[in-house]
Amino acid sequence: MTTLIKIDTTPLGIAKKTMQVFPSGAVVDKAQDISIQTLEVPETKSALEAFKIQRDVKLHAKAFLKQLLGLTEKQVEKFNESVTNNDFMAYVGYLIYLLDGSDYETFAEFQDNTHAQNEEAQADPKKPSTAETN
């Protein structure tokens, strides 16, 4: 039985409000590559090196959106132009979490949960976040 993942595509501004995608091994590999790249920006790198890594991550994230959701270059660029860089990468993060088995119904739910975790971590930096304990 093929398990499809339901994705909230409302933030993309396309006709379909949701899509169902097959979480193939290749797609999950790309999602994991983006996660690894994001975590590989050590504080000891120079600002230039950090910017280059961040730029590379963004290019991979755009390609990932195109592949996973079957978007055109124009649709990806329209989305990129209509949101902040943080929101763009947060949406990619949402997709990665879904591929990893999370069950967020909407991107807004994902963002609300992320904001709550960040506030919790800022309130008590010694306490592990919910994401770290799951």
CA–chain centroid gap for 123, Å, is: 25
Residue 134 has pLDDT above 50, yes or no: no
Domain ranges of the chain: 5-106
Region 11-25: what's the mean pLDDT? 93
pLDDT single digits (tens) 40-58: 766 767 888 888 888 999 9
pLDDT higher for 110 or 127?
110
DSSP codes, the chain = -PPPEEEE-GGGT-S-SEEEE---HHHHHHHHHHHHHHHT--TTS-HHHHHHHHHHHHHHHHHHHHHHHT--HHHHHHHHHHS-HHHHHHHHHHHHHHHTT---SSHHHHHHHHHHHHHHHHH-TTSPPHHHH-
